[in-house]
Amino acid sequence: MSKLGKPVSQRQLRVGEMLKQALSMVFLKEETKISDLDTKSITVTEVRMSPDLKTAKIYVIPLGGKDKEIIIEKLKEFSFVIRKVLSKKIMVKFLPKLIFVNDDSFDYAEKIENLIRQTQK
């Protein structure tokens, strides 16, 4: 469910998953040619589509969690290049605007796990 209480549609999920797979392959094959950025080390964990499918919030995490802010800024700066490469990979009516966000769910999960361990002692 989304934050507003409306459930996410099947179409949003399907387009989000298609975009996630395409982005992962683009990063893995280093097709974007972004200077000073090793895209092989970037993991796309989730893609959330807006209801109109014109905006995609892409959650990424670098391998090892190093230099998160720098990598996110680089991806934001070169999002037009990534969109251009994606336009040749996927067929959708409107290619969504890409918004890159740091995925901190792993940090949150680790924090919860540590709290659980402390209470068990």
Lowest mean pLDDT among 37-41, 64-68, 116-120: 64-68
Q: How many CB atoms lie within 10 A of CB 96?
A: 21
Fold held by 10-120 = GMP Synthetase; Chain A, domain 3 (3.30.300)
Check residues 26 and 114 and name the one with the higher pLDDT.
26
Among residues 45, 38, 8, which one has the least CA distance to residue 23?
A: 45
User: What pLDDT is stored for residue 3 in this prediction?
Assistant: 57
